[in-house]
Structure 1
C-alpha cells in the first residue's frame, strides 16, 4: 500500500479528465512554470491498490525540467470508472489503455512511460505490442513476473476474501491496521479509505489475479529498442531487490536503487526519485531522433 505524502496539489499541478477512444480517465497533470513544455511528455501509471495521487510528490519537480507530466488512474481505479467485465482488467486490456493514453498525451509523438508495481506489468504490455513509440520505459518497483513474498500472500488472501466479504474486509483487516501502525495522519487514512472503496471490486479481483499469475516477458521486452530503467527501493517488500537487479541485467537496462525507500520510491524518496527520472529522460532524448 502506498501512502501519498500530501494531498494538496502543488503549484503547476491540476486535476483533469482525459477523453480517449476507450473511455475517460482521471488524471493529474503537471506543466512547467512557463506553461510551455519543451521536452517530450511523460505518462505515469500506478500500482494495484494505488492511484495517480501516489505521484503527487514528484509531479512538480518532474515538470520543472520542461515537460508535461501526467499521472492517471487506470480503468476501474479510484476516479476512473470501469465495467463489471473481468476481461477489461487483464494486463493486455489495460496495456491497450496505456497505448491510447500515450497517443492522446503525446499527440502521436514519443512519450516517456513509467509503471509502478502492477503498473509495470501493465505498461510493459504497451511497450511490447509495438503500437506506440515510447521515448523511454521505467519499471518502478516492478518485477519480471508474478509478485512474490508478503505481497503475494496478501494478494492470495484478497482473492479468497473479496468475493465473499468485499472491499470492507481488505480495509478492516489489512489496510487500516497497517496505516494506523505506521502513524499515518487521520486525513490521509480518510483518503486511503475513500480511494479503496471507489475502486471497482471486479477490477480489483481481476487485477489481483493478474499480478499473481503474470508470466516473465523479459525476453520479449529485450527485443524492443527503447531506453529502459529499473528503479526500486533498497528495502522493497514487493519483488526482491535482487530479482529486480537481475531483471535489469537481463534487459540491459539502467538500474537505480533508491536509498531508504521500500516499495514506493515516489512517495518515500520523491526528490531522489524525481532526479533519477529526469536524468534518465533527458539522456534518453539525446539518444533518440526527433
Structure 2
C-alpha cells in the first residue's frame, strides 16, 4: 500500500487561490529559491525559473499528495503548482454529477494552464518556457490526457504518473462501484468509517492510513479531506475510471512530449500495461524502484529527480535519460 501524504507544505509552498476563467481553484504554489516572496499572482518575485509545472491529483486525492515533491522540484528551478480540481478538498464544486464529466474537468485544466501561462509571462523565465508542463497522477493522468487532446499546444509536455491507457483493473472497478453504491445511501462520514475498516482501501488512491514517516499522525487531516470532497465528484470520476476508453493512439498523434512514470508495482494498472502504453506513445519511461501506485509519496526524491531530468532535457538545460 502506498504511503499517505503529509499535510504540512514546505516553506517554499504557499497555499493560495488560482483565479481562472472557469472559477477559482485551491492550489499549493511552490517557488524556486530566491522567489519565496509570492507576488500575489504566483510569479517568482524576481527569481528566474526554468518552467512551471501543473500537478493534478488522483481519485480521492488532493494537492497535498504532491507535498513531498514540491521542495525538490522548486530546488531544481521549477515553479510547481498542485491543484485541487472542482469538487476536490478545498475547491468547491456543484452537486450534479454532470458537472464532473471528463470534458468539463479537462476544460478546467486548460483554464488553469492559461492562468499560469499568463502569470509566467510576467516572471523571469527562459524563452519558450511559459507554457506549463502538465502532470497527472492516476485519475489526474486521464484528465490531463483529455486536456492535452483538446489543446496540446497549451502544454510544454505531459507526464502520466501511474495512469494507464484505459479503464482500471477489474478488481479496482469493483471497489469503485462499491464506493459509488455506498455514497448513494450513506453520509460521507459513514463511508469514511467503512473505508477505515477495509483492507485494501476502496478503490485506487483511497489510502486511509494516517501514520507518517516522522512518527506523527495525519489521520484527522485525511478524514477532513475526505469529508470535504463532493460525493457527486467521487461518483462521477469513479465511473470514469471504470469506463475510460483507450485513447493512446489519439495522444500519440498529438505529438506532445510525454513521460510515463510509475512505481515497480501497481494494482490499479499493471506495470506491463504502462510499459506498453509508453512504447505506443514513443514516450520516456521511468520506473521508480521501491514505489507502488504513488511514487510521489513512496519515493519523492527519486520521483522528483526523474521528472526534472525529463523537463530539463526538453528545455536543453540538462541531459538526463529516462530509467
* Aligned position for 2:75: 64
* Aligned position for 1:99: 110
Q: 1:131 to 1:244 in 2, by over 3 A?
A: closer
Task: Determine whether 1:17 maps to 2:22.
Answer: no
Structure 1 residues 161-200: aligned runs within 5 Å: 161-175=182-196, 177-178=198-199, 184=211, 187-200=217-230
Contact 2:6 2:65 in 1 (8 A): no
Separation in 2 of the partners of 1:124 and 1:132?
13
Aligned length: 287
Task: Determine whether 1:147 maps to 2:147.
Answer: no
* Aligned position for 2:303: 273
Contact 2:114 2:154 in 1 (8 A): no
* Aligned position for 2:178: 157
Separation in 1 of the partners of 2:134 and 2:72?
17
Separation in 2 of the partners of 1:254 and 1:147?
22
* Aligned position for 1:252: 282
The two structures, once aligned, show a CA RMSD in angstroms of 2.0
Separation in 2 of the partners of 1:273 and 1:149?
27
SS in 2 for 1:160: helix
Separation in 2 of the partners of 1:15 and 1:191?
16
Contact 1:39 1:66 in 2 (8 A): yes
Deviation at 1:2, TM superposition (A): 6.1
Q: 1:181 to 1:44 in 2, by over 3 A?
A: closer
Deviation at 1:236, TM superposition (A): 1.2
* Aligned position for 1:38: 49
User: Which one is further off, 52-61 or 87-96?
Assistant: 87-96
Contact 2:210 2:219 in 1 (8 A): no
Deviation at 1:181, TM superposition (A): 9.0
Q: 1:176 to 1:20 in 2, by over 3 A?
A: farther
Q: Which runs of 4+ in 1 moved over 6 A?
A: none
User: Which one is further off, 98-107 or 173-182?
Assistant: 173-182
Q: 1:176 to 1:30 in 2, by over 3 A?
A: farther
Q: TM-score, normalised by structure 1?
A: 0.93
Q: Where does the alignment leave 5 or more consecutive residues of structure 2 unmatched? A: 36-46, 122-129, 202-206, 318-323
* Aligned position for 2:89: 78
Q: 1:183 to 1:94 in 2, by over 3 A?
A: closer
User: Which one is further off, 152-161 or 175-184?
Assistant: 175-184
